[in-house]
Structure 1
């Protein structure tokens, strides 16, 4: 399908806003006629949506907080004992 045919078959919806943003996501995936407008990219960023090929727009913290590993609540050997006591499972 050519770009012109895709545009003919998929007119840009104006309302609701979600349809407008969704159109731009589909457009970027199938058509390379022009870049996505900056205002649309900002709106997608506000929603937490990262568009293909624009991972540099992801908001990633400079450092991740150190978290201690979660301690297991099971006692050593408890899982094996529970599995052996329910052989029909």
Structure 2
């Protein structure tokens, strides 16, 4: 998919990001940009916290 360059420039991942910062960044990224899939470990953590719905891919 295509990168949302403007979003990426305005929302850089913090250097040495904590888990909480990474979760927040990837959740926002999923909504605003389609350049790549969310890492599976991040997706599973967000699912475990009930912040996003599981996908068929993450359940497989």
Where on the TM-score scale, by shorter chain, does this alignment land: which range?
0.5 to 0.7
Q: Which residue of 2 aligns with 1:24?
A: 26
Q: Which residue of 1 aligns with 2:39?
A: 37
**TM-score, normalised relative to structure 1:** 0.49
Gaps of at least 5 residues in structure 1 are: 59-89
Q: Give the 4+ runs in structure 1 shifted more than 4 A.
A: none
Identify the structure with the greater helix proportion. 2
Q: Which residue of 2 aligns with 1:6?
A: 7
Distance 1:34 1:16 in 2: 21
**TM-score, normalised relative to structure 2:** 0.68
Higher gyration radius (CA): 1
Q: CA deviation at 1:39?
A: 1.0
Gaps of at least 5 residues in structure 2 are: 56-60
